[in-house]
Amino acid sequence: MSAQRLPSKLDQLKTMTAVVADTGDMEAIRAFTPTDATTNPTLILKAAQLKAYEPLVNEAIVWGRSHHRLTSEVADRLAINFGEELTKIVPGRVSTEVDADLSFDVEGTVAKGRAIIAEYERRGVGRDRILIKIAATWEGARAAEILQREGIDCNMTLVFSLAQAVACADAGAFLISPFVGRILDWHVKAQGKSFTAETDPGVLSVRQIYDYFKAHGVSTVIMGASFRNKAEIEALAGCDRLTISPQLLDELARDDGGLEQRLTPHIPPDRIPAKLDLDEKTFRFMLNEDAMATEKLAEGIRVFGGDLRALRELVSQRLLAAADGEFASL
């Protein structure tokens, strides 16, 4: 009699962690049936160049031309077009990102967050289905504090340190996204060595944040992000949520080995971190003392900013093509 096959590691993971698709590719999301989906300018830029999603792009272009809208407004509409479609596929939340160039602008971030939610609600998508994605700067945390008071839930992205995580939690943010793989990248380059899943600095960072939140009764959801390999995901099984690329979702779906839950909310007394009391000066000093977090936060904002500019350039080209009476294929 043959041994009974275990469920795939992806199916096992879903029993202990909410799985989120880190992509704008809807076919990939349909294939892996995640709970939530998250996007950013990089992912929207990639998806917008796929022929399958040309109707979403064309709708935004036609709207922009007929309403005489700015390129930035058309790019915003395109992101919301993708987000609206994603809400039809996943049962949970979809994250839509605020412009990276607003990362240090409290009022601008609040205004953009309100505008995104208003457009979703105009389309019949309730705010309970959307997360406003904001960079985890001090200003981002202050903007999230305002939006959360208005019932607009926020996903704080580009989290690389406990100080960022705590500042976002203190602001009442619904969710934070620690970037596991980017933390690993920095340490590999800085130390010139490789790491196992158990010594991976990105994995250890998320475990530290998880222990802090659970030990101190913090309700903010922790969603590990930016994975470089399947082992990192397995080492964080049990985290509140994990947002995973289609490639790694596929690897997990094809693996029928056992998966152990590594994170649980019952933190032993010897692992309870000291509580942090953060004001702006303390936050900025702690971030400055952490070279990795300082550099990766700045780099992440630059990268998202560059991809946002590329997305707007793509939209600008399509607007020009529309003005000439043609819709050239992306």
Under DSSP, the state recorded for 179 is B
- Residues 10-63 have pLDDT tens digits of 999 999 999 999 988 888 899 999 999 987 888 888 888 888 889 999 999 999
Residue with tokens 């505008």: 115
Q: Is 189 tagged catalytic?
A: no
Q: Choosing from 9, 133, 230, 296, which is the catalytic residue?
A: 133
96 in a domain, yes or no? yes
2 in a domain, yes or no? no
Torsion 185-186-192-195 (CA) sign: negative
The H or E element containing residue 244 is strand 241-244
44 in a domain, yes or no? yes
- Residues 77-86 have pLDDT tens digits of 999 999 999 9
Considering its fold, how many domains does the chain have in total? 1
CATH number for the domain harbouring residue 51? 3.20.20.70
Q: Whole domain around residue 270: which residue ranges?
A: 9-323
291 in a domain, yes or no? yes
- Residues 226-285 have pLDDT tens digits of 999 999 999 999 999 999 999 999 999 999 999 999 999 999 988 888 999 999 999 999
* Phi and psi at residue 110, to the nearest 5°: -60, -45
3-state secondary structure of 222: strand
Q: What band does 316 get if pLDDT is binned at 50, 70 and 90? A: very high
3 in a domain, yes or no? no
Which among 49, 45, 132 is positioned nearest to 309, based on CA atoms?
A: 45
Burial group, residue 216, by CB count within 10 angstroms (0-12, 13-18, 19+) = middle
248 in a domain, yes or no? yes
1 in a domain, yes or no? no
State the pLDDT at residue 322: 81
CA distance 224 to 286: 21
Going from the C-alpha of 120 to that of each of 39, 73, 117, the distances in angstroms are 15, 14, 5
Record the pTM: 0.92
